[in-house]
Amino acid sequence: MRYQDFIGELRDLVKNGEVLRSQSLTHENPKFREWRHRAENLVREALAHNYRLPGTFKSDGRTYRAMYPGASFPANATALEKELGDSLIELRYLIEQFEKYGEPMRTQLIGAADPQPQAAVPAPALAQPEKVTLAWLVKHVSVGFWLKALSLALGILLLGAAIGRAQTFASFVTWLKNNWPF
């Protein structure tokens, strides 16, 4: 897929979307469903060709209808008009960015003449120490871990203090002293 062809199809989609938006339709209309399917597949295809598209196209996350049971035809038509308008704004933005800056970079080049992608370099393995000491832990364990461990210890301490003061706990300890068989 050439990016220029992608932009040409986007221009057609925007024109067709404007026509659909001017009509009183709902998300169940076959013409709208065909438009949505074409738009989403076109954007997916460009992404599959590793084009870095400026902005986003969130059509697949939109419902294009009123989100409550028993919505009336006018409510569904209004929701479709609004969300279709949002999709058209996003498609126009892709066209404008192409006209302003040209074809976007690709995340990875494709094809026989293209260089092979670099293999990810694995992080060096951490040597296993002979002894795990506090000094080794301080040096090799993240600050986030220490903060979580400190928070957990403080929470246990506070929970213990709260339980120790509770009347129910005190009565349980008394019962245990009186009824313990040893």
**Residue-wise pLDDT tens digits, 21-73:** 998 888 899 999 999 999 999 999 988 888 888 888 888 788 889 888 889 99
Helix (H) or strand (E) holding 4: helix 3-22
Query: How would you class 87 by CB atoms within 10 Å of its CB: exposed for 0-12, middle for 13-18, buried for 19 or more?
Result: buried
Residue 82 lies in a domain: yes
Q: Total structural domains in the chain?
A: 2
- Grade residue 115 by pLDDT with cuts at 50, 70 and 90: very low
Nearest to 84 by CA among 8, 25, 9, 7: 25
Residues 7 and 93 in one domain: yes
On the question of pLDDT at 113 being above 70, the answer is no
Residues contacting residue 47 through CB under 8 Å, at least 6 positions apart: 53
Question: What's residue 172's pLDDT?
Answer: 81
97 plus 140 within the same structural domain: no
Above pLDDT 70, what percent of the chain? 89
Instruction: Let me know whether 80 and 31 are in one domain.
Output: yes
Please report the pLDDT score of residue 170 as a whole number: 81
Tell me whether residue 169 is in a domain.
Answer: yes
119 located within any domain:
no
Bridge partners (DSSP) of residue 51 are 106
* pLDDT score of 139: 82
Query: What residue numbers bound the domain in which 24 lies?
Result: 3-101
Q: Quick one: pLDDT band at residue 112, thresholds 50, 70, 90?
A: very low
Check whether residue 96 and residue 9 sit in a common domain.
yes
pLDDT on residue 120: 57
Instruction: Indicate whether 39 belongs to any domain.
Output: yes
- Which pLDDT does position 89 carry in this prediction? 93
At position 168, the amino acid (one-letter code) is T
What is the average pLDDT score of the chain? Answer: 84
Longest distance between any two alpha carbons in the chain, whole Å: 88
pLDDT of residue 156: 92
Structure tokens at 27: 């998300």
Q: Are residues 149 and 97 in the same domain?
A: no
pLDDT band at 124 (very low <50, low <70, confident <90, very high): low
Which whole number is the average pLDDT over 10-29? 91
Residue 83 lies in a domain: yes
